[in-house]
Amino acid sequence: MATIIRAAEWTLGPETAQGAPRGALYEAECTTCADGSGAEEGTRVPAEVWALKHTGENPTHRNFRAVITSFWAVSPAASNPYSGEGQ
């Protein structure tokens, strides 16, 4: 007998899988030359310092793209038929 799931409850939250970043990733990219700071987890300070130093070394490069990345995961709620299955 086929089962049709018309609606199931899901929850959205931070990704908690092993190896996933625990905080947001912060990075800065120069919009003049596309050089970047690289991503740092949980703090924006290294990206800010990188941007300041980058302008110090390249005085015409004064604009940056701030990129903040976080990861989400959708999980089945207790009432969802997928609840209890392995991840």
Residues at the site binding Zn ion, with contacts judged by CB under 5 A: 30, 32-33, 35, 61
Residue 67 CB, shortest distance to Zn ion, in Å, is 15
**CA-CA distance, 48 to 13, in Å (whole number)?**
28
Q: What angle do CA 18, 12, 69 make, to 5 degrees?
A: 65
Of the pair 32, 80, the CB lying nearest Zn ion is at 32
Of the pair 26, 50, the CB lying nearest Zn ion is at 50
Residue 33 CB, shortest distance to Zn ion, in Å, is 3
Residue with tokens 């310092």: 49
For residue 29, give Cα distances in angstroms to 8, 71, 77: 41, 20, 38
Residue 64 CB, shortest distance to Zn ion, in Å, is 8
**Among all residues, whose Cβ is closest to Zn ion?**
30
